[in-house]
Amino acid sequence: MKLSDVVIGVSMTMLAVLISYLMVYGGLGPIASYSLRPLATSFLNYTYNPWNAVYSALSPEAVTAIVWDFRGLDTYFETSVLFIAIVGLVALFRGAGIAQGISSRGLSIIVKTSTKIVAPLILVAGASLAFHGHLSPGGGFQGGSFMAVAMVLIAITFSIEFLHQKGLSLSTLLTIRCVGLLAIAVVSVYLLIKAMLLGGSAYIFQNMIRMNSSYSMPSWFIDRPLGGTLFFFNLSESIAVIGGLTLGAILLLLREEELRAVIGGEERE
Amino acid sequence: MSDSLLLLFATIVVAFVINMAISLYGVFAKPSLVKKFIALTIFSDSINSFAILIGFRRTALGHPSIAVLPSPPQSSKDLEGFVKTAVDPLPQALVLTAIVIGLAVNMFLVGLIMLYRRYYGTTNIKKVRI
Amino acid sequence: MPMNELLPAIMAFVTALVSIVATWLAVQEKDLLAAVLFSALQSTCYALIYYLLMAPDIVLVYLPVSVGILPLITVILVKKTERYEE
């Protein structure tokens, strides 16, 4: 045991004791109280309120309404942070692409057969989560992450050269990501452009009728609530996430022969 | 109801604080970059857990429920009953954002560690003289 | 005390203790592949705790991110660098 390890251990123990002391005496606010904060009461009151529709988002799911309607700008910037990280990863490995001539056979036939059964099930489950995000727990990120896990599973058992032959190259995945972002941008300014063309006023990220504007996205679909922009945002976000996360994982899976010519150096055993 | 709920709470809070301390020790004291990365992900998960803990509530009778309406309410009385038992939804929305941003930064960090190894030949920071 | 109120408390107690043990083993272990597995075990325990704290949206984000994508890219990293630290 070196002296520096002991010193770090003792200071971490003091940190743990101080934070527990802080929490017991109410420094992080009341924990597990009997009443909610007023902001939370207001959000829960106005998430589905047809009697007060000027303030409401008309979707039964409170968390999705907060993420895409009441605090939609936070989510917009979080999506762009994920995009910037993917672009940074592409820039780190610039110049490297999937090589054409290397033929790789993937894993054994037992793994391939069980992946052929399991991967479509995971894809369908993820798509179902993305579709009903405004009615029950789910949404864009949840569905997109599930589908990205299935895509990376396919990329590992069959090889990444197989995916490249089937048409899923690095630039295709980046295009899918950009199409998702474009769909989010179009849905967010749709009511604003409609108001500019037809007269009246509207806001960016507007979902339902507000105080000064009478434009609204459809809030009911045949027999169940459709959350207006929430449904379209969930769909486009799932498309964007599946493109981005698959691209990131495939860039990290590239082989040494493809990268050596570009980056230099080599992997030493 | 209240003292068994208190037992649940105390153990969860103790687990989050101890995990935070152990993973922070792992970030500082271990010389390998990959071990530091694993400990960093555990640390950020524990910090997000504090935020989710703040949103929990207790109800006087019955159990708290999730922040989702099971069916469109027919009258204002249903809405009041929902507000009396539902959990705070705002910390959950903020932690959603935090988890996705953490994933973005961690993916970039893995790419950087790979290039570091290729340039210096090792991932042990004590063996590298810059 | 009726069982349906005591059972969530017992589940939370056991899961929290398992997560503390898993974190300690993940930080102490010299074989990095085993450390990744212990970290995934700790993430599973956290997902169960989030479900008991009534946050189902968080569980649906946390499971593919912390038990799917992150151990995957860490195992790729361990394969391309060294397996045993030091």
From first to last of its 269 residues, what are the pLDDT tens digits of chain A? 789 999 999 999 999 999 989 888 877 777 878 888 899 999 999 888 888 888 888 889 999 999 999 999 999 999 999 999 999 999 988 877 777 767 778 889 999 999 999 999 999 999 999 999 899 999 999 999 999 999 999 999 998 888 888 888 889 999 999 999 999 999 999 989 998 898 888 888 888 888 888 888 888 888 888 888 899 999 999 999 999 999 999 999 888 766 766 666 555 44
Does C56 contact A at CB distance below 8 Å?
yes
Structure confidence at residue A200 (pLDDT): 85
Choose the mutation target among A46, A66, A69 for the interface with B, i.e. most B CBs under 10 Å.
A66
Is the pLDDT at B102 greater than 80? The verdict is yes
C55 to chain B, closest Cα gap in Å: 7
Is the pLDDT at B130 greater than 80? The verdict is no
Cβ of B25 within 8 Å of Cβ of A12? The answer is: yes
Token pair in block for residue A6: 């002991």
C81 to chain A, closest Cα gap in Å: 8
Buried b (16+ CB within 10 A) or exposed e, B98-124: ebbbbbbebbbbbbebbebbbeeeebe
Strand A220-221 relative to strand A224-225, pairing: antiparallel
Structure confidence at residue A86 (pLDDT): 94
The interface predicted TM-score of the complex, written ipTM, equals 0.94
Q: How many CA atoms lie within 13 A of A11 on its CB side?
A: 11
CA closest to A249 among chain C residues: C73
Does A91 contact B at CB distance below 8 Å?
no
C-alpha dist (Å) from residue C42 to A19, B32, B54, C76:
21, 21, 21, 20
Cβ of A47 within 8 Å of Cβ of B69? The answer is: yes
B70 to chain C, closest Cα gap in Å: 14
Is the pLDDT at B11 greater than 90? The verdict is no
From B18, B55, B103, residue closest to C69, measured CB to CB: B103
From C12, C35, C61, residue closest to B96, measured CB to CB: C61
From A34, A45, A75, residue closest to B58, measured CB to CB: A34
CATH of domain B2-66+75-127: 1.10.287
- Ordered by start, the domain boundaries in chain C are 3-80
Question: What is the rounded average pLDDT of the residues C34-55?
Answer: 95
- Ordered by start, the domain boundaries in chain B are 2-66+75-127
Q: Report the 3 state secondary structure along A90-121.
A: HHHCCCCCCCCCCCCCCCCHHHHHHHHHHHHH
Does C3 contact A at CB distance below 8 Å?
no
A·C CB contacts under 8 A: 38
pTM of the model: 0.93
Cβ of B89 within 8 Å of Cβ of A66? The answer is: yes
CA closest to B91 among chain C residues: C55
B130 to chain A, closest Cα gap in Å: 17
Structure confidence at residue A262 (pLDDT): 63
Cβ of C77 within 8 Å of Cβ of B114? The answer is: yes
pLDDT confidence band for B99 (50 / 70 / 90):
very high
